[in-house]
């Protein structure tokens, strides 16, 4: 099973669209802030969620990740796309919640990284391996990787989207 969580009006091809808005005509009408989601434990192979997570506050993000962990099978993957924290698009939308999302936001959803950071006492149980990709604004796409990495780390409005791939351990 493949899910597009927070699909809006355009669910991803080959995925079951899940959204809280009946106006979007999703395959599954469900508010993803309400737990549990209507899927069995370890029943989902793949998840896509594009521009949804930034609409949740911190506690809702934790609950989302816990529920994502519950429904994904071991080895299952989720691609979560959000505005990058240093792009104006992350803060311009009044429906986005604080804080903007960076790579380090995902460290809290890895058991080993929670232990390394000394926050393993947080009430978070999920355990994902995470890797990242980025959508760069066109005017920076020509830069060599080293220059682009430096610009991403030290400049605003270079990266538009963060693409986090999570694998359930």
Domains delineated in the chain: 2-168 (3.40.50.150)
**pLDDT tens digits for range 61-95:** 999 999 999 999 999 999 999 999 999 999 999 99
C-alpha–C-alpha distance, residues 129 and 102, integer Å: 16
Q: Note the pLDDT tens digit of each residue in 88-141.
A: 999 999 999 999 999 999 999 999 999 999 999 999 999 999 999 999 999 999
Predicted local confidence at residue 71, as pLDDT? 98
Sheet (strand 72-83) strand order: 28-29, 16-19, 2-5, 44-50, 72-83, 159-168, 128-136
Question: Does the predicted TM-score (pTM) go above 0.85?
Answer: yes
- The DSSP code for 147 is H
Element holding 73 (H helix, E strand)? strand 72-83
Question: Which neighbouring-strand residues pair with 11?
Answer: none
Q: Are 47 and 78 in contact (CB under 8 A)?
A: yes
Helix (H, G, I), strand (E, B) or coil at 119: coil
């Amino acid at each position: 099973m493949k899910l597009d969580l927070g699909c809006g009006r355009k669910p991803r091809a080959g995925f079951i669209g899940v959204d809280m808005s009946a106006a979007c005509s999703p395959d599954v009408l469900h508010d993803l802030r309400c737990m549990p989601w209507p899927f069995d434990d370890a029943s989902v192979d793949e998840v896509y969620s594009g521009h949804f997570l930034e609409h949740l506050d911190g506690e809702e993000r934790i609950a989302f990740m816990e529920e994502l962990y519950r429904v994904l099978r071991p080895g299952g993957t989720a691609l979560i796309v959000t505005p990058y924290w240093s792009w104006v698009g992350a803060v311009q939308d009044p429906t986005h919640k604080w804080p903007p999302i960076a790579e380090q936001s995902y460290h809290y959803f890895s058991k080993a990284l929670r232990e390394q950071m000394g926050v393993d006492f947080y009430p978070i149980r999920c355990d994902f391996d995470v890797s990242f990709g980025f959508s760069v604004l066109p005017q920076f796409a020509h830069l060599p990787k080293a220059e682009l990495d430096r610009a991403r780390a030290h400049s605003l409005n270079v990266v538009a989207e963060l693409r986090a791939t999570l694998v359930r351990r």
